[in-house]
Amino acid sequence: MNRLGYDVFRICRRRRSQCIFLFLLICMLADLVYTFVTYRSNYQYLTFLTGGASHVLQILLIWLMPIWILLAVGDRYIEDVKLGFSSLISTRYGMGRYVRKLVATTFVTSFLLYFIPLLMNYGFALVLGWNVPKMEGIGRLHYEMLRYDQRPMAQMAWYQPGLVNIMFLLSTCFLAGFLGTVSVCISLVFADKRVVYSFMFVFWFGQIILPKSVIDVVQPFTEWQLERLGYVYGRSLLLCLVVIVPCLFVVARRKR
């Protein structure tokens, strides 16, 4: 097993990471069952990200995404500093190699933290709603928007809903990966949980309350088109890079 794979495996074995993973999975499956019982929708419209019947759970898991990521993997460097592992590892392998490995591992594990539960949610939705007609569970206004809107995103949502689901699933997971990277970069500069947790909450919540909210690239089957989605996603990634690059620069300066 290569070094990155070993580090990912080591994080997955942490009790706290396992608890957060199970919490996310149980919430998503509970939302699936509740939505199916309430609306009995076609499987394409049962997924967690569509926000079917329970917006509360979606708010809990998406709006607080950086908190779950920090609890599972994002504050690993702070724990390493507290236990004295960071100095030992950086002395043995070099600070540059340690930081690269830490950033790569955090991105991968943050991505997987949301990818696996969301994929399982989609798989169980497929089982539950496979025989339900496509029209069931779609409100009349939603039907009019999807069926007769000639814009590319609306046409894709009607004729290729599976592709739209996968696109938004991956979009959400890549955002999780970048949020994890931002959190570990902030912790490399400020090894203080109060600072890191506060910053990540403001950083993410600020993007949610903007007029063009980051939630637009998380929730499928809305009225937003590719231009808006591309703008919002690009803005979010740019904001992540605005934090990541200076933090890594500061860490690199400290090595000298």
pLDDT tens per residue across span 136-162? 555 444 555 556 666 677 677 777 878
Closest to 171 (Cα-Cα) out of 223, 124, 216: 216
Residue 168 confidence (pLDDT): 92
- 190, two tokens: 């400020």
CB 176 within 8 A of CB 155: no
Residue 202 confidence (pLDDT): 94
- 109, two tokens: 């594990």
Residue 220 confidence (pLDDT): 85
**Domain edges within the chain:** 3-255
Residue 125 confidence (pLDDT): 85
Residue 134 confidence (pLDDT): 55
Residue 247 confidence (pLDDT): 92
Compute how many other C-beta atoms are within 10 angstroms of the C-beta atom of residue 89.
Answer: 16
Residues of the chain with pLDDT under 50: 1, 139-141
Phi, psi of 135 (to 5 degrees): -75, -20
Q: Rounded distance, CA 73 to CA 26, Å?
A: 19
Residue 192 confidence (pLDDT): 85
Closest to 57 (Cα-Cα) out of 115, 138, 121: 121
Residue 64 confidence (pLDDT): 93
Residue 213 confidence (pLDDT): 92
Q: Rounded distance, CA 154 to CA 115, Å?
A: 25
pTM of the model: 0.86
